[in-house]
């Protein structure tokens, strides 16, 4: 089970990515539920996590403060990309959020692309 800092940050980041294009698609909702199930959250934290997907934070700078390790940051970026692609299409807005996450972690766009493992030309 990940640290609570990672879990809170990850959940909030996924909510932000899911709504980046203004629409929560069924594939994104299913992916979000799979992540929450995988985190094995207690009922009160699970309810808060579900609220994060219904009402996401306003932007990357509003994500919960967390000191994440480099490995945790990479995991957040990979999950963010998985969320963006969960509906079969990745919007420019979703890529923008992923780019901002990378910037928040001090990671260049080129390195972010390497981390998520997809040759995005954007």
Which CATH number characterizes residue 60's domain? 1.10.3680
The per-residue pLDDT for 122 is: 45
Q: What total of structural domains would you count in the chain?
A: 1
The per-residue pLDDT for 93 is: 94
Low-confidence ranges of the chain (pLDDT < 70): 1-3, 65, 118-122
Angle, alpha carbons 25-30-33 (nearest 5°): 125
The per-residue pLDDT for 30 is: 93
What the block records as the tokens of 77 is 């970026």
CA–CA distance, 54 with 69 (Å, rounded to integer): 27
121: in domain: no
Angle, alpha carbons 43-76-49 (nearest 5°): 20
**In whole angstroms, what separates CA 30 from the centre of its chain?**
14
39: in domain: yes
50: in domain: yes
Instruction: Report how far apart the first and last C-alpha atoms of the chain are (Å, whole number).
Output: 34
What the block records as the tokens of 58 is 């306003």
The per-residue pLDDT for 96 is: 94
* 3-class SS shares of the chain: helix, strand, coil, % to 5: 65, 0, 35
What the block records as the tokens of 99 is 């780019």
Q: Which domain holds residue 15?
A: 4-116
The per-residue pLDDT for 46 is: 86
122: in domain: no
89: in domain: yes
């Amino acid at each position: 089970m990940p640290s609570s800092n990672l879990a809170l940050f990850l959940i909030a980041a996924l909510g932000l990515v899911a709504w980046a294009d203004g629409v929560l698609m069924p594939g994104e909702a299913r992916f979000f539920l799979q992540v929450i199930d995988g985190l094995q959250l207690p009922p009160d934290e699970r309810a808060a996590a579900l609220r994060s997907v219904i009402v996401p934070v306003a932007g990357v700078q509003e994500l919960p403060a967390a000191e994440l390790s480099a490995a945790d940051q990479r995991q957040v970026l990979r999950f963010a990309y998985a969320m963006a692609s969960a509906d079969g299409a990745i919007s420019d807005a979703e890529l923008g959020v992923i780019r901002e996450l990378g910037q928040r972690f001090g990671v260049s766009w080129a390195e972010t692309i390497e981390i998520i493992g997809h040759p995005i030309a954007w």
